[in-house]
Amino acid sequence: MNIDEQVEWLMQGTEYGDDELAQAMRRELRERLQEGRPLRVYCGYDPTSTDLHLGHTITMRKLRQFQDLGHDVTFLIGNYTALVGDPSDKNKARPILTEEQVMENARTYAEQAFRVLDPQKTRIRYNGEWLSRLTLVDLIRLGQHFTVQQFLARENFAKRLERGEPIFLHETFYALMQGYDAVALQADVQVGGSDQLFNIIVAGRKLQEALGQRPQIGIILGILPGTDGVQRMSKSMGNVIPIHTTAEDMYGKLMSIPDFAMPKYFRLVTRWSPRQIQEIEEAMASGRLHPRDAKMKLAREVTAIFHGEEAAAAAEEAFIRLFQQREIPQELEVFFYRPGQTLLEVLVAAGLVASRSEGRRLIDQRGVRLDGQVLERADLPIPHEGVLQVGKRKFVQLKTSAGK
């Protein structure tokens, strides 16, 4: 790739919420690439749980792109930042984990990351290496580069302040700690989600400049929606695509995402170049490629990343066979559900069961399926659009009212 093509590929999927900032990061990335040396690139991962899903891997995909272009990539495990808890995407303080909990969670992270990253080209570091050596005086000196107003202006803090909810002092330490990670690694580039904008662009760049380093470039990626296509992928929402699952399950869940969410998935979780994505989208727009076939290409591509080409092909065959053999009516009644509406609520509202008790009984008997997948929890939200089957003969096409 020439420099222009590299910039387009590396900036693919980025979201800054500000055109001037986006252009500045693009310009700085181009300048740094023109130096003709491997850039020092990293992303930090706080091991707050062991159950990773596809949304966790979008930054890993970006790191892999840097690796493929010959850059020096560090997979940073935030064993010290995890002790504080990142407040960036939370409307209340995170529970504080113990060191034992953090290290137990961390054991599985590298193994899962290497399903995307090249293990031969990846440095594994722990930010406890340097954060554990900071003294109280060091922390005070880092803090003097920021104002309280800068922290309170952050959207999640501002909302909590407005509602009269507590903002704990330790939550402001997180940005300082993450910013110091960039200093310790002498980073050229930090990759992160859009919820990390303050930590990367404000804290990281400011501390690097204050301590005599050139400020890093922030590659800020959009947030991957779940299988409903609307809400952020989250285990609590029941809309996740797990990493530790079968190829058939992963393929089926990818086929269940709504059509309007596909462009986001193209850019965030595939290995496709901007040119390949443009060709697919142009073919869909002209009618040369049916959205179903585009989604099958997407499902096979992502499944192949995690399970290999052979398993992805077998999953595709199994999916086709399942839906060809299943006697689903050609014309289905459409029921629009609200995001967050539970399975039991939808069964009753759509007239698929006569009562809540009947709905619970059918769910307990594993008689309720969404796109062929058994749904086992009455109290969880509907995870995504698709064909809902109750028993052997009742079918309805579910669509979210958010997509109307």
pTM for the full model? Answer: 0.74
pLDDT of residue 56: 87
pLDDT of residue 108: 75
The contacts of residue 255 (CB under 8 Å, 6+ apart) are 295, 296, 299, 319, 371
101 and 246 in a common domain: no
pLDDT of residue 92: 45
Average pLDDT, the chain: 87
CATH of the domain at 282: 1.10.240.10
Q: Which residues pair with 395 in a beta bridge?
A: 389
- Say which DSSP state 2 is in: -
81 and 12 in a common domain: yes
Which of 268, 271, 273 is CA-nearest to residue 305? 271
Tell me the two tokens of residue 311: 């398993």
Query: Number of helices and strands (H, E) in the chain?
Result: 20, 10
16 and 164 in a common domain: yes
Band of pLDDT at residue 147, cut at 50, 70 and 90:
confident
Taking residues 345-373, report their average pLDDT. Answer: 88
Give φ, ψ of 362 to 5 degrees. -65, -40
CATH of the domain at 73: 3.40.50.620
260 and 192 in a common domain: no
Tell me the two tokens of residue 373: 């997948």
pLDDT of residue 111: 76
pLDDT in tens, 299-337: 999 999 999 999 999 999 888 876 655 556 656 788 999
180 and 262 in a common domain: no
| CA-to-CA dists, residue 130 to 11, 48, 69, 385, angstroms | 30, 20, 29, 46
What is the distance between the alpha carbons of residues 244 and 53, in angstroms, rounded to a whole number? 8
What is the distance between the alpha carbons of residues 389 and 322, in angstroms, rounded to a whole number? 14
What is the domain range of residue 125? 3-221
343 and 271 in a common domain: no
61 and 13 in a common domain: yes
Tell me the two tokens of residue 165: 């909810």
What is the distance between the alpha carbons of residues 26 and 222, in angstroms, rounded to a whole number? 16
| CA-to-CA dists, residue 23 to 30, 160, 320, angstroms | 11, 31, 44
258 and 113 in a common domain: no
Count Cβ atoms below 10 Å from residue 321 Cβ, excluding itself: 10
253 and 120 in a common domain: no
pLDDT in tens, 211-235: 999 999 999 999 999 888 888 888 7
155 and 133 in a common domain: yes
Domain end among 325, 355, 384: 325
Contact of 68 with 98, CB cutoff 8 Å: no
Domain end among 325, 351, 367: 325
| CA-to-CA dists, residue 319 to 256, 258, 301, 372, 386, angstroms | 11, 17, 15, 9, 14
Domain end among 187, 221, 255: 221
Structural domain count, the chain:
3
236 and 128 in a common domain: no
156 and 304 in a common domain: no
The string of DSSP codes covering 196-245 is: GHIIIIIIIHHHHHHTT-PPPEEEEEPPPB-TTSSSBP-GGGT---BSSS
Helix or strand or coil: residue 350? coil
